[in-house]
Amino acid sequence: MKKFLFAMIMAAVTFFAYNVSAATTSYMTAPSLLPEGSTVTTSSYSLQGSTITAQGSHCKAYFTLHGTISVNLAAWSNRVMTIALWDEDPIFNPNDKIKVYKGTFTGREFTGITVDSVLITGDLEDTNDPTAELYLSLYITKNSQDVSGAYTGNFFQYKLENS
């Protein structure tokens, strides 16, 4: 019984520390995408920032560019990946799209990513709520020479931050 109680206390402490006080995730592998399939979303992460109220200007996504997409997809330099950074809101409230990033390719190689637009710089949450629940949505264009039903594979990593 003591071991069970100790394990429960440790689990609660770990959960509290990760979900309430973390400002940045570690790097995570992005999901594989189906070109021009449905938009894929990542898990949401509760990240506590340094401001009294979570601000869009303090929320960011970082990317490592280190991979190529599947050989079943055409080597096409006009391929574009659209990644949106979102703040998840409670049910019945629409989620907030904070920023949009555009990823570019040279052939099959993922070669660059830039901020395409900033949509929200101000408050994301109610006053005195410094925690943003951040996630990404991802979409990639399709070339007519892509093998039908072929996924991209895992070709980059990302991390989220609420500074």
23 CB-contact burial (10 Å; exposed 0-12 / middle 13-18 / buried 19+): middle
Distance CA 99, CA 62 (A): 12
Q: What is the C-alpha end-to-end distance of the chain, expressed in Å?
A: 40
Distance CA 41, CA 43 (A): 7
Map out the domains of the chain as residue ranges. 2-162
Tens place of pLDDT per residue across the chain (163 aa): 544 343 444 444 344 334 445 899 999 999 999 998 889 999 999 999 999 999 999 999 999 977 999 999 999 999 999 999 999 998 888 999 999 999 999 999 999 999 999 999 999 998 999 999 999 999 999 999 999 999 999 999 999 999 9
